[in-house]
Amino acid sequence: MSLPPHSAQLLTSEGLDQLLRALRRGGYRAVGPTVREGVIAYEDIDCVEDLPRGWTDEQSGGHYRLRRRDDDALFGYAVGPHSWKQFLHPPRQRLWRTRGGGDAVQIEREPPDGPPLALIGVRACELKAVAIQDTVLLGGAYGDPHYRARRADTFILAVNCTVAGGTCFCVSMDCGPNVATGFDLALTELAAAGPPAFVLQSATPAGRKVLEEISHRPATESEIAAARARVQHSAQHMGRQMPAQNLPQLLLRNLEHPRWSEVADRCLACGNCTMVCPTCFCTSVEDSSDLRGQQTSRTRRWDSCFTIDFTYLHGGSVRQSTRARYRQWLTHKLATWHQQFGSSGCVGCGRCITWCPVGIDITEEVSAIRASDPG
Amino acid sequence: MHARATDPMVPRVLRVRSRRRDGPQVWTLQCDDGANEPPGFAAGQFNMLTAFGVGEVPISFSGDPARPQRIVHTIRAVGAVSSALTRLGAGAALAVRGPFGTGWPMSEAAGRDVVLVAGGLGLAPLRPALYQLLAQRAGYGRITLLYGTRSPQEILFRREIDSWRKLTGVMIEVTVDHAMPPWHGHVGVVTALIPRARFDPRRTLALICGPEIMMRFAAEALGAAGVASEAIYLSLERSMKCGIGRCGHCQFGGLFICRDGPVIRYDRLREPLRVREL
Ligand SMILES: Cc1cc2nc3c(=O)[nH]c(=O)nc-3n(C[C@H](O)[C@H](O)[C@H](O)COP(=O)(O)OP(=O)(O)OC[C@H]3O[C@@H](n4cnc5c(N)ncnc54)[C@H](O)[C@@H]3O)c2cc1C
Ligand code: SF4
Ligand code: SF4
Ligand code: FES
């Protein structure tokens, strides 16, 4: 969706600072990008000064490095190792605990915790990933109440990408770089020698409400055109491309393709790709009890289809080989996800490529299978 | 916002009413449901059972669907959770979520011959179907149970099997892998019994539960005997951590075995079952 001229506003970095403070005043816990230990991480932020001013990133297979920009841009980088799922679908979630032992045992479910979240700087691919996790975790006969509570209260400040990362391919997956739906406010950063400035769109009453508390002015035609041109530029400079036509059919007729063994020789089965992937949702549960066995509790935690335990049944695991586990990951993302949830499970964010210790590249693996597809 | 009363991941407490040994390492627990209105279940469905402080595992219903207030599970102690469950005596508390999953297609059985093929503990998830068939005996054609287990000592529900044998129009054949005298029944794989069963393949419904390899051979043998893939149902087993299509563990191709199964029609399984380590 392009920026509708009638509603587009211009926001300065002071205006953005006011916006962050207004959200916090409104009771939100604001989380957004910040530089931490050499990466762009998503953490609690208070004000504009916490954002990664003047940084960009260099990304390729198995490689990530922050570099200085020659301007003061606040959003001049692509996505890092974190994704919003760590806040919405956290790595550990207690589900319930017992009170009283023996005859008096009672089960108490864990209440939803924490203040509502304001997610700052959510990219188009990430909005799509959140929408996909909504389908997975809230669709069907049973919704997850913890996820539902967090999502119901979440405020989203989206950002159109003006810089494409070296491993990005959202254009191939039809997921970006323009934000389309699922946000309250969206920014497009303008090129500037001086302090950063943004063209801003509002999409919801919640978004318009915070705007009342901060200073902004209508954006001019030329500012809107400049913003649009920057996003178009990033669309034309994707680091990767996915040959995405008829992917489910291609992969499902190639379950015995020799490429699976070839990639398994390189894959360490470390599960990094599933941890950084913004759509991977798999979990396991752990029970614990105090020493006297009087109080017990259950905690849900992220799990990965790359672990040998993932398919453990009495007698052994179903997916013993790395070949089978890599095949599960890739075919789930790109093929069976369509059957299960009506969309691809990949949004083209490139994280799995960047954070693979040996640089395995999902787009390259698909291309290799396509190149020798017997049809 | 507060969690709604119906968090599908939060179990409710059950009390063990009685515990009976049903074979080496196998116990049947009868439990009273503390719920005001027990949810009831369909033959073939399962519960997620929790041994407090140890863990949670999927276990099929093995009791009578007509008596939903009495929850019956037959459990083999193979690891930490199943062992802890089978040690629970009368009055002990456990927790349950469910019922989950698809049931046997009992409505399709009306007027047809029904062949049930069970391997080992696979008889437990088939018992609710048998209860239902035998309670309305006149509603079905010939009923055949082919049951294979490792040894004569491991035959489950022995007394019940003997009482079912006496019913007209019911044929029960039991085979064991290994036997010593005084066993004088069949020895060998359960699929070898299929040619002995009397059924009209064009009006037969087949329900199979047991080790995966046995189910594949049984389905193929029934197919060879003329039963259509669309009339054969299997109950699959996979690792399960949620039972509701959320944890991802039970995926089998595009299927979530917890939600799309465990009971699935054979025509949807024939191809994927051929793919190793899917
Ligand atoms: C739909 C369905 C119905 C079933 N019905 C019945 C039934 O009616 N009766 C019955 O007896 N059984 C039934 N089972 C099988 C039963 O669920 C398993 O036997 C049970 O889960 C074993 O759990 P355990 O803790 O006792 O054993 P374990 O074999 O120790 O495994 C329990 C779980 O702990 C984890 N685990 C344990 N050890 C390891 C390890 N070394 N590495 C990784 N992970 C490990 C696994 O994730 C595993 O799922 C059914 C299974 C399914 C899927
Ligand atoms: S599979 Fe890779 S590129 Fe696709 S959404 Fe997941 S991490 Fe991003
Ligand atoms: S790719 Fe693996 S970890 Fe990710 S959602 Fe699918 S099964 Fe789960
Ligand atoms: S058991 Fe969790 S998805 Fe099936």
Q: Is residue A329 within 6 Å of ligand 3 at its C-beta?
A: yes
CB B89 within 8 A of CB B41: no
> In three state form, how does the secondary structure of chain A look?
CCCCCCCCEEEEHHHHHHHHHHHHHCCCEEEEEEEECCEEEEEECCCHHHCCCCEEEEEECCEEEEEECCCCCCCCCCCCCCCCHHHHCCCEEEEEEEECCHHHCEEEECCCCCCCEEEEEECHHHHHHHHHHHHHHHCCCCCCHHHHHHHHHCEEEEECCCCCCCCCCCCCCCCCCCCCCCCCEEEEEECCCCCCEEEEEECCHHHHHHHCCCCCEECCHHHHHHHHHHHHHHHCCCCCCCCCCCHHHHHHCCCCCCHHHHHHHHCCCCCHHHHHCCCCCCEEEEEEECCCCCCEEEEEEECCCCCHHHHEECCEECCCCHHHHHHHHHHHHHHHHHHHHCCCCCCCCCHHHHCCCCCCCHHHHHHHHHHCCCC
A242 lies in a domain? Answer: no
Is B240 strand, coil or helix? coil
- For A339, nearest residue in chain B (alpha carbons): B254
Instruction: Characterize the bridge pairing of strands A155-159 and A185-190.
Output: parallel
Do A255 and A60 form a contact (C-beta atoms < 8 A)?
no
Range of the domain at A323: 247-371
Do A304 and A254 lie in one domain? The reply is yes
- Record the tokens describing residue A303, joined without a space: 């799990």
Contact call for residues B24 and B153 (beta carbons, < 8 A)? yes
CA of A361 relative to ligand 2 center, distance in Å: 10
Q: How much is the pLDDT for A104?
A: 86
**Residue B246, ligand 4, Cβ within 6 A:** yes
Q: How many CA atoms lie within 13 A of A127 on its CB side?
A: 25
CA distance B206 to chain A (A): 26
Amino acid at A205: P
Return the number of other C-beta atoms located less than 10 Å from residue A137's C-beta: 20
Which strand ranges, in their side-by-side order, compose the sheet holding B232-235? B186-187, B170-176, B143-149, B113-119, B204-209, B232-235, B263-265
pLDDT at A43 over 60: yes
Indicate if A300 and A220 belong to the same structural domain.
Answer: no
Tell whether A215 and A300 lie within a shared domain. no
pTM of the model: 0.95
Domain membership of residue A3 (yes or no) is no
Residues A254 and A199 placed together within one structural domain of the fold: no
Flag whether A293 is in a domain.
yes
**ω into A195 cis (within 30 of 0):** no
Both structure tokens of A299 = 């905690």
Q: Are strands B232-235 and B263-265 parallel, antiparallel or unpaired?
A: antiparallel
Q: Check whether residue A66 and residue A191 sit in a common domain.
A: yes
Give the distance (Å) from ligand 3 centre to CA of residue B270. 24
Q: Is the CB of B237 under 6 A from ligand 1?
A: yes
Are both A231 and A264 inside the same structural domain?
no
User: A268 falls in which pLDDT band (50, 70, 90)?
Assistant: very high
Ranking A213-227, A241-255, A281-295, A326-340 by mean pLDDT, the lowest is: A281-295
Is A2 a member of any domain?
no
Residues A192 and A273 in one domain: no
- Inter-chain CB proximity B55 and A107 less than 8 Å: no
Q: Are residues A224 and A273 in the same domain?
A: no
Rounded to an integer, the average pLDDT of A268-290 is: 96
Domain annotation covers residue A268? yes
Question: Chain A residue closest to B98 (CA)?
Answer: A142
Q: Residue B124 C-alpha to ligand 4 middle, in angstroms?
A: 21
Beta bridge partners of B49: B57, B96
Amino acid at residue number A31:
V
Question: Do B254 and A328 count as a contact with CB atoms less than 8 A apart?
Answer: no
The whole-angstrom distance between A294's CA and the closest CA on chain B is 9
What distance in angstroms lies between residue A164's CA and the mean position of ligand 1's atoms?
46
Measured CA to CA, the distance from residue B28 to residue B19 in angstroms comes to 6
Chain A residues in contact with B13 (beta carbon < 8 A):
105-107
Which residue from A251, A275, A282, A309 has its CB within 8 A of the most atoms of ligand 3, so it is best to mutate?
Answer: A282
CA B157 to chain centre: 13
Give B-chain residues touching A141 at CB under 8 angstroms.
244
Taking CA atoms only, the protein residue closest to ligand 4 atom 3 is B245
Residue A211's pLDDT band, with cuts at 50, 70 and 90, is very high
| CA distances (Å), origin B13, targets A63, A89, A224, B66, B67 | 50, 27, 60, 21, 19
- Positive or negative, the CA dihedral B191, B196, B202, B208 is negative
Asked whether residue A229 is domain-assigned, the answer is yes
The distance in angstroms from the start CA to the end CA of chain A is: 36
Within this chain, do residues A23 and A137 fall inside the same structural domain, yes or no? yes
- Write phi, then psi, for A257 (nearest 5 degrees): -65, 140
pLDDT surpasses 70 at A93? yes
Q: Which of B50, B82, B245 sits opposite A140 (nearest CB)?
A: B245
A36 occurs within a structural domain: yes
Atom nearest to A345 CA in ligand 2: 5
Our count of domains for chain A comes to 2
Which residue's CA is the nearest one to ligand 1's atom 29? A314
Interface of A with B in 121-160 (CB under 8 A): 136-137, 140-142, 144-146, 148-149, 152-153
Do A125 and A184 lie in one domain? The reply is: yes
pLDDT in tens, A2-11: 444 458 999 9
Task: Name which of B2, B6, B52 to mutate to probe chain A: the one with the most chain A Cβ atoms within 10 A of its Cβ.
Answer: B52
Q: Among residues 89-118 of chain A, which lie with CB inside 8 Å of chain B? A: 95-96, 98, 102-103, 105-107, 109-112
The full set of domains in chain B, from first to last, is 2-100 (2.40.30.10), 106-274 (3.40.50.80)
Pocket probe mutation, ligand 1, options B59, B97, B244, max atoms within 8 Å of Cβ = B59
For residue B275, give the nearest of A102, A255, A320 by CB distance.
A255
For residue B224, how many other CB atoms are within 10 A of its CB?
12
Residue-wise pLDDT tens digits, A112-147: 888 999 999 999 999 999 999 999 999 988 899 999
CA of A143 vs chain B CAs: smallest distance (Å): 8
Of A181, A211, A235, the last residue of a domain is: A235
Please give the DSSP secondary-structure letter assigned to residue B223: H
Tokens at residue A202, please?
């509002």
Per-residue confidence (pLDDT) for residue A5, from 0 to 100:
43
Same domain as A153, residue A23: yes
Q: Which of helix, strand or coil describes residue B175?
A: strand
Q: Where are the beta strands (DSSP E) in chain B?
A: 12-23, 26-33, 46-51, 55-60, 70-76, 93-100, 113-119, 143-149, 170-176, 186-187, 204-209, 232-235, 251-252, 255-256, 263-265
Q: Give first-to-last CA distance, chain B, whole Å.
A: 40
Element (H, E) at B161: helix B158-165
CB contact under 8 A, B254 and A336: yes
Domain boundary residue among A196, A213, A235?
Answer: A235
Least Cα separation, residue A129 to chain B (angstroms): 16
pLDDT at A2: 42
Indicate yes or no: CB of A323 within 8 angstroms of CB of B245.
no
Q: Which of A314, A322, A344, A342 is nearest to A332 (CA)?
A: A344
Residue A44 to residue A55: CA distance in whole angstroms: 18
Of B244, B248, B256, the CB nearest to A281: B248
Token pair 């990008």 is found at A33
The CB density around residue A47, as the number of other CB atoms within 10 Å, is: 13
Cβ of A292: how many Cβ atoms within 10 Å? 7
Contact indicator for B44, B130 with CB cutoff of 8 Å: no
Looking at beta carbons, which residues of chain B come within 8 Å of A142? Answer: 8, 244-246
Q: Identity (one letter) of the amino acid at B161?
A: I
Segment holding B128, helix H or strand E: helix B123-135
A6-44 core/surface letters (b: 16 or more CB in 10 A; e: else):
eebbbbbbebbbbbbbbbbebebbbbbbbbeeebbbbee
pLDDT along chain B (278 residues), means of 10: 66 95 96 82 98 97 94 97 97 95 97 97 98 95 97 95 93 93 91 93 97 96 97 98 97 98 97 95
* Contacting A residues, span 215-274, partner chain B, CB-CB under 8 Å: 255-256
For residues B39 and B25, give the distance between their C-alpha atoms in angstroms, rounded to a whole number.
29
Cα of B135 to nearest chain A Cα, Å: 31
User: Within this chain, do residues A176 and A215 fall inside the same structural domain, yes or no?
Assistant: yes
In a domain, A361, yes or no: yes
Q: Which of A179, A214, A235 is the C-terminal boundary of a domain?
A: A235
From CA A59, how far away is CA B201, in angstroms rounded?
Answer: 62
Compute how many other C-beta atoms are within 10 angstroms of the C-beta atom of residue A341.
Answer: 19
CB of A175 within 8 Å of a chain B CB? The answer is no
Question: In the numeric block, which tokens belong to residue A67?
Answer: 């570099």
The answer to whether residue A285 scores a pLDDT higher than 90 is: yes
User: Distance, CA A335 to ligand 3 centroid (Å)?
Assistant: 12
Sheet-wide strand order for A106-109 = A106-109, A92-99, A296-302, A283-289
Whole-number mean pLDDT of chain A?
Answer: 95
Give me the helix-helix angle, A145-153 and A124-138, nearest 10°: 140
> Atom 2 in ligand 3: which residue has the minimum CA distance?
A305
Which site among B2, B251, B255 would you substitute to test the A interface, given the most A Cβ atoms closer than 10 Å to its Cβ?
B251
Q: Give mean pLDDT, residues A276-280.
A: 98
Give me ligand 4 centre to Cα B233, in Å: 20
| Cβ of A333 less than 6 Å from ligand 3 | yes
